[in-house]
Structure 1
Amino acid sequence: MNCRVVVEAAVPVYDVESPDEAVRIAISKTGEMLNPDLNYVEINMGERSCPHCGESMEPAFIAADESLVALELEMTVFNVEREEHASRIARKEIGQRLENIPLEVLDVEVIEDEDDESTNDESNDSEESASDDDEVLPEFEDLIE
């Protein structure tokens, strides 16, 4: 079983003036820490909301020119036994490169194997082809004329 795991990271950024600047620096800093070993991890802005009213907030909290930025890191984990196994692998792989940055698993999604889908498609195609034998596609030369 393959799983897509989303991990939230709280990345500290220093000497910033705006939330946009903090997010850009946090993404760059995280990318540097993950590359080249984990260049397949997707880095996105995190989503924050007010705990009281539920209103959407900026992914960066700034105080005294320092910021804490919420980022979402996504990676696919292959050949795992359970979703819990996938989340532990993702946290370990990402956590080894992001020292002193807190991580929390947000979501684990099971990905369907392409082999299973292709075998289902082939069986459906063979059933359809038996009923479509009467219809024959014209030759390429006939279409040009």
Structure 2
Amino acid sequence: MDCRVVVEAAVPVYDVESADEAVRIAISKTGEMLNPDLNYVEIDMGERQCPHCGEPLEPAFVAADESLVALLLEMTVYNVEREEHASRIARKEIGQRLENIPLEVIEVETIETDDDSSDDSKAESDDEDVLPEFDDLMED
């Protein structure tokens, strides 16, 4: 089974004047730490909400020219047995490159593949050709 895992990271940024600037710097800083080993991890702004009223807040909190930015890091983990296994792998892989940055798994979603979606293919007999679809294409 393959899973898409979304991890939230709290990235500190220093010497900033605005939330927009902090987000840009945090995305750049995170990209540098992940590349080239994890260049397949997608980086996006996080979504924060007011704990009291539920209204959306900016992904960066700025105070005294320093900021804490919420980023979402998304990666696909292949060949895992359970969603918990996928989340541990994602946290470990990302966490090794983002030292001293808190991470929290936000979402784990199973990705349907051709192998997972049909159990009929597993029940087919072994007598069939290895590539019947290829033969069909050649006849057309």
TM surpasses 0.5: yes
Name stretches of at least 5 consecutive residues in structure 1 with no aligned partner: 121-145
For residue 79 of structure 2, what is the aligned residue in structure 1? Answer: 79
How does 1:129-144 map onto structure 2 within 5 Å? none
Tell me the TM-score normalised to structure 2 length.
0.82
Counterparts of 1:116 and 1:24, CA distance in 2: 39
Where 2:44 maps in the other structure, the secondary structure is strand
Structure 2 CA distance for aligned equivalents of residues 27 and 114 of structure 1: 34
CA deviation string 1:44-82 (max 9, x = no partner): 000000000000000000000000000000000000010
Cα distance change, pair 118–82 in 1 and its aligned pair in 2 (3 A)? closer
How far did residue 114 of structure 1 move? 3.2
Give the deviation of 1:117 after TM superposition. Answer: 5.1
Shift of 1:115: 4.0
Amino acid of the structure 2 residue aligned with 1:63 = A
The residue identity in structure 2 corresponding to 1:93 is: E
Deviations 1:63-118 (A, max 9, x none): 00000000000000000010000000000000000000000000000000134558
How do 1:54-69 and structure 2 match up within 5 A? 54-69=54-69
Q: SS of the counterpart of 1:22?
A: helix
What is the RMSD of the two structures over their aligned residues, measured on CA atoms?
1.4
| Distance of 2:114 and 2:70 partners within structure 1 | 32
TM-score, structure 1 length as denominator?
Answer: 0.80
* Residues 30-54 of structure 1, C-alpha deviations (whole Å, 9 max, x = no match): 0000000000000000000000000
Aligned to 1:113: 113
Which structure has the bigger radius of gyration?
A: 1
CA distance in 2, matches of 1:105, 1:8: 6
Unaligned runs of 5+ residues in structure 2 are 121-140
Corresponding position of 2:102: 102
Aligned length: 120
One-letter amino acid matched to 2:9: A
- Percent identical among aligned pairs is 86
